[in-house]
Chain A
Amino acid sequence: MKPSARNQLIDSLLDGDISEADFIRLEAEFSVNPEARKAYYERLALSAMLQTEAGAAPHRIAEFKAPRTRAYLSGVLAMAAAVAALFAVNSLFLHPKKSDLFTHEPTGPAEQKASGFAILSGQSELVWKNRASIASGSLLPTGSLSLQSGLAQIELLSGVSLIVEGEADFEILSSMEMKVTRGKVRARVPEPAHGFRIHTSEGQVVDLGTEFALDVAKEKSEVHVLDGQVEWHPKTEAKQLLSKGEGLRLETNGDKTNIKADDRGFVGVNAMNKKLASNLSARRAEWLHFIEKLRKDPRLVALFHMGPAGSRQLPNESVTGTQIVKEGAVVGASHVADRWGVSGEALDFSATVSRVRMNIPGEYRSVSMFAWVKINSLDRKYNSLFLTDGHDPSEPHWQIMNDGRLFFAVKKRPFPEPKNQYAFYSPSLWNASMSAQWLMLAAVYDVDQRQVTFYLNGQPISQEAIPAEFMVEKVTIGQASLCNWGLPLRDDPEFAIRNFNGSMDEFALFSAALTPSEIKDIYDHGKP
């Protein structure tokens, strides 16, 4: 192919109107000719640079303050790209409809993906005004936020970490800017985020590499520099440099007083972490107390904790169940922190072979199962939660599809007979923005009520009647695995790898249908 003809085809490709025949010609050329690929990269780079040029001009990023760091200044291009990147992330979150990326996302939890450029990384007794609770690990919504009380630990995408103490009114404007109209904020700003600024009604605090605190109240505001330096930019006067140990008090009548910085009024990162840990351990103690009761429930067939670290045999914690199932065996999985942050008490199943093996003899009528999981990503078409080996008639399979839907089925007839099973699906309950969150998933197979119900965090999310022709009144399990599939003998090998890319810290199986209030009770006592 002549270079001129080839370059024309590359432009057609980049313009998005290449014909299939030309695409195939070009692909063949790329495969054999390094010069052709080089021309492709050159024209790709030209497009990207032109996009930057075209996008850098409009006023929309004029107000964006470029951070002053070596990394950002390492090149005009790098800076432009970084600014464009930060801005584009924001604009994407602010205007999800701009692209059709989310077209196929379900409603519900997926909407969280479309909001915010800061993460709520921790919370203590946090109460929001006009807003339900926000799970730790979630992106914070954009727009004004109001705290009634409690402490919020927030991480901005730029690396700034904040502790906001209620009662507070604030807004995260970008990864590098926030506005505070009321409340206490303590900010720690790492090197790449120098230039971070907080707007108040009196002016702006601009960080020059530091830790500082801000207390904004009706009658006065205070700035305390705890480390490094900040610049205070009042609305009317010249800016003022403040160094470690210095502070300012600003009254609404315009009076300004130099004060000594004092961090005692502000909760610091260490204190916050301590608080978080003690909250968690109190909640964990409550759960362990609750579990003691649950263990004696005669309907409980199996209950597995995944810890402690290093254990390869997990005892069945169920008092009656242990006569049927003694233990589970850990294969390939490694120990990680559980949902309370206690290390070694949960298992990570991201290694392809990892699983917990068990043998559960007996026949059951209805069954219920729940698991606490943290999902890294849904890599497979089927991501196993609890699967019997193979899938013979009367055996249950519980897993998550790669689009975030729960799957549950009890085999009616042997594969590959037609209509061998009826699969129940929940709506999609997971998206990538939830990968730091621990979730309680549950499925209830109720023969008497002839229905299957799925639960997320104690709440029913879907319920479906079991069609008469697929009703199985005796469920059997036998050899089974958590988070993987035992012996993929029959199905398409493409789907044979079903390990769950994530962590699990508890799994329970009951020989009965639990009621919604029982599931909720388990969640309420077990949530971290």
Chain B
Amino acid sequence: MNAASHESQIVAQLTQIQMPLRLYVQSLLPGEPSAADVSQLTNAKIWEKRAEFTLGTNFKAWAFSIARFEVLNYRKQQARDSRLVFGQELEETFAQELAEENDALERRHVALKQCLGKLRAPDRDLLMHRYASTETLLDYAQKSGRSIGGLKVTLHRLRNALLGCIEKHVGPDLLES
């Protein structure tokens, strides 16, 4: 197999696992604004190490192991003492389950778009602003002049509503399949 073909397959596989990879990194770094950067660093690292990957073996598992290493690296660089980190065993469970997770993510995303359309405009704007920002919730609350308690309650309610709506959309499909 020539190098160009090897690389095109790596690109294709890397593209396919973007979402699981991102979920895995975020599951290890919950609430960490830089988690998205860590998944991007993981992408760069995977690309850098692409020659080491043997086609036909489990790409996702390989990628996850690189992701885990990047997460550990990131934690090391963060000199914070008060960091909350899950136990290693639990993190391994996340890796296993998220690698198997194939829960119609694409359909859920399509459903989410429709569900967002059903929200009141101010609620939708709040979500879009909040998720476009990489600030902590506290910083965000202060900047937008809201109380953090009120903001948390609103976001929690909106997420519940969206998840309920998504379930309704993808539910019938699941029964048929």
Q: Decide if A and B are genuine partners.
A: yes
A binding-site residues for B, Cβ under 8 Å:
7-8, 11-18, 20, 23, 27, 30-31, 37, 40-55, 57-58, 69, 71-72, 74-78, 80-82, 84-85, 88-89, 92, 98-101, 103-105, 157-159, 161, 188, 190-193, 377, 432-433, 435-436
Given contacts A54-B128, A77-B109, 14 further A-B contacts (CB under 8 A): A7-B160, A17-B148, A43-B163, A45-B19, A46-B163, A48-B19, A51-B132, A52-B109, A69-B12, A71-B16, A81-B22, A89-B40, A89-B44, A433-B48
In the bound complex, what is the Cα–Cα distance between A420 and B11 (angstroms)?
52
A45:B33 contact, CB within 8 angstroms: no
Instruction: Enumerate chain A residues within 8 angstroms of B108, measured Cβ to Cβ.
Output: 45, 49
- The prevalent SS among residues of B at the interface is helix
A88:B36 contact, CB within 8 angstroms: yes
In the bound complex, what is the Cα–Cα distance between A435 and B163 (angstroms)?
43
List 23 A-B pairs, Cβ < 8 Å: A8-B156, A16-B30, A16-B32, A16-B136, A17-B138, A17-B152, A18-B31, A30-B90, A37-B93, A41-B27, A41-B101, A43-B163, A45-B108, A47-B131, A49-B109, A54-B131, A76-B109, A88-B37, A89-B40, A92-B41, A161-B4, A192-B8, A435-B49
In the bound complex, what is the Cα–Cα distance between A51 and B131 (angstroms)?
5
- Interface members, chain B 144-168 (any A CB < 8 Å): 148, 152, 155-156, 159-160, 162-163, 166
| B173 CB–A CB distance under 8 Å | no
In the bound complex, what is the Cα–Cα distance between A55 and B49 (angstroms)?
28
Q: How far is the CB of B109 from chain A (nearest CB, A)?
A: 5
Instruction: Enumerate chain A residues within 8 angstroms of B41, measured Cβ to Cβ.
Output: 92, 101
Give the 9 A-B CB pairs with smallest separation, nearest first: A16-B31, A81-B18, A54-B131, A54-B132, A71-B12, A192-B11, A75-B106, A77-B106, A190-B8
B binding-site residues for A, Cβ under 8 Å:
4-5, 7-8, 11-12, 15-16, 18-19, 22-23, 26-27, 30-34, 36-38, 40-41, 43-45, 47-49, 69, 74, 77-79, 82, 84, 86-87, 89-90, 93-94, 97-98, 101, 105-106, 108-110, 112-113, 116, 127-132, 134, 136-138, 148, 152, 155-156, 159-160, 162-163, 166
Inter-chain residue pair count (beta carbon < 8 A): 191
Instruction: Enumerate chain B residues within 8 angstroms of A40, measured Cβ to Cβ.
Output: 27
Instruction: Enumerate chain B residues within 8 angstroms of A81, measured Cβ to Cβ.
Output: 15, 18-19, 22
Instruction: Enumerate chain B residues within 8 angstroms of A27, measured Cβ to Cβ.
Output: 86-87, 90
Max count, chain A CB within 10 A of own CB: residue among B7, B16, B18, B116: B18
Q: How far is the CB of B143 from chain A (nearest CB, A)?
A: 15
Instruction: Enumerate chain B residues within 8 angstroms of A52, measured Cβ to Cβ.
Output: 109
Contact for B16 among A51, A74, A159, CB less than 8 A: A74
